[in-house]
Amino acid sequence: MENRKAYIERCDALFHIRFYLAAIVLLTPTLALSQYQADFLRPFTGYYDSQSLTTAIGNATVAAGQVIPGRSSNPANLGLNRFNNIQVNFQHNNFEGVGASSSNTRLGGAHGVIPIPVYRGSLVFGGGVQKVTDFSSARQRPGLSSSEEGGMYATELGVSYEAAENVFIGGAFHYLQGSDELSNTEPDTNTFLNPKYNGYYFSFGFVNRTTEHLQIGASVHLPSNVRVREELTTWPSSTPQNSRVDSWNYHVTRPMAFHLGLSVLYPLYSLFYEAEWTDWQDIEFSSNEYFEGDVAQINRDFNDSLKSTLTHHLGAALHLPSLPLHLYGGYQYMPVPYAFYDGNVKQSLSGGASYLLNQQFSIHSSFSHYFWRYEGDAESYDMLVVGTSFHF
């Protein structure tokens, strides 16, 4: 425990290289457990999703239904699909920090939708494996170099059915798994932190096709329990063979998240909006390897220094009448969860397109640009997703 605390004091920059984590150290350097908070929030903060159509409309999917097939924030959307659909996505991202950058390319995931013939209404299953959060950052300044790379994947299985005419209800199980690699280099000491995550949560929701041109939807993501195993390797810069490895285990429970929104649907265009609300004061830490007083203090600091956030997702789609081509755009407004910090809100702009090659295959792509300021300097994260879908 003493080694962990010493590590946290030495390399606090390692934990706030992402915008969400920067706020704590910049404004409250005397908060004893601030870096603990950065540690525990890490699996729940990052860059959204890796599915092209979802990111193209700024993740405003709670009532997107049949317009955006595949993974969404509301499992009830599955019930609006009438055809089998399998899609695969690939992702490339690039982080631009102060004096440094990082990038990688990998499989974003695969998702399938399978309608089941029923006498009345609809019954649809869906699921897959998808990268839901990306961790990327880099920083270079005199005497200090830090970088981060990793992500969280979700294995999901959901079902939706038409409970009444034009009212769809759905639920899904989500299993989370991922890891992170944080490296920090200083003149005298090097550190490598490698947390590994696994956990789960359930989500439920409904979609109501109110009129021919309007759909409303809502969903709730129940608290997600994530188990974390951290391994910390430290070594003197001059003698790397004299390394030391320490490990810790703990659980973090993310608060419930509520999603509410609507879609306006016309033959030539569609508009999407989603609001996402989370009370971060309800985050909970537990561990058998920490002193009971430390556990109580960590949870008390969560309550004192965190707040609820209301994230806004906006999206639009243009359906060209003369071509099998759809164009998309989106915007996200993402406030930080720290009660004492009101500036430098993270935002994103996105765009994309899908093209139907024939009755069975389509290709689609999206580009998202996240941007904010850190200590007065502009930082950004770009994500390019390319995918293909098979309809049958």
What tens digit of pLDDT does each residue of 364-386 get?
Answer: 999 999 998 776 778 899 999 99
Phi-psi bin for 67: left (phi > 0), alpha (psi -120 to 50), beta? alpha
Give the pLDDT confidence of 16-42 residue by residue, as tens digits. Answer: 333 333 332 323 332 334 445 667 787
Report pLDDT for 22.
Answer: 33
> Are 89 and 105 within 8 A, CB to CB?
no
User: What's this model's pTM, rounded to 2 decimal places?
Assistant: 0.85
The tokens 């700024």 sit on which residue?
58
Tell me the mean pLDDT in the region 358-366. 91
Residue of higher predicted confidence among 391 and 353: 353
User: For residue range 82-103, what is the model confidence (pLDDT) as tens digits?
Assistant: 889 999 999 999 998 877 888 8
In this predicted structure, the answer to whether residue 388 has a pLDDT above a threshold of 80 is yes
For residue 341, the model assigns a pLDDT of 65
With a cut of 90, say whether residue 255 has pLDDT above it: yes
CB within 8 Å of 293: residues ≥ 6 apart: none
Backbone angles phi, psi at 288, to 5 degrees: -85, -5
Instruction: For residue 117, count CB atoms less than 10 angstroms from its CB and return exposed for 0-12, middle for 13-18, buried for 19 or more.
Output: exposed
183-192, 251-260, 292-301: range with highest mean pLDDT = 251-260
Domains and CATH numbers, the chain: 2-391 (2.40.160.60)
Residue 181 amino acid letter: E
Q: Which residues are within 8 A (CB) of 306 and not within 5 positions of it... i.e. 6 or more apart?
A: 37, 280, 281, 283, 337, 338, 339
pLDDT of residue 166: 92
Q: Residue 359's closest CA among 327, 324, 319, 328?
A: 324
pLDDT tens digits along 265-294: 999 999 999 999 999 999 999 988 888 888
pLDDT single digits (tens) 292-305: 888 898 888 888 88
Cα–Cα nearest to 279, from 300, 307, 313: 307
Tens digit of each residue's pLDDT (9 = 90 or more) over 104-129 = 888 888 999 999 988 888 899 999 99
pLDDT at residue 174, as a whole number: 95
Q: What is the DSSP letter of 76?
A: G
Q: Are 121 and 161 in contact (CB under 8 A)?
A: yes
Phi-psi region of 62 (alpha: psi -120 to 50; beta: other; left: phi over 0): alpha
Residue 344: pLDDT band (50, 70, 90) is low
Q: What is the pLDDT of residue 33?
A: 43
pLDDT value of position 13: 36
Q: What are phi and psi of 339, to 5 degrees?
A: -65, -30
Mean of the pLDDT values across residues 141-158? 86
Q: How high is the pLDDT of residue 26?
A: 29
- For the chain, list the strands marked E by DSSP: 47-48, 85-96, 101-116, 123-141, 144-164, 167-185, 189-193, 196-211, 214-221, 224-236, 244-254, 257-265, 269-279, 284-286, 308-319, 325-334, 346-356, 361-374, 377-391
* CB 89 within 8 Å of CB 50: yes
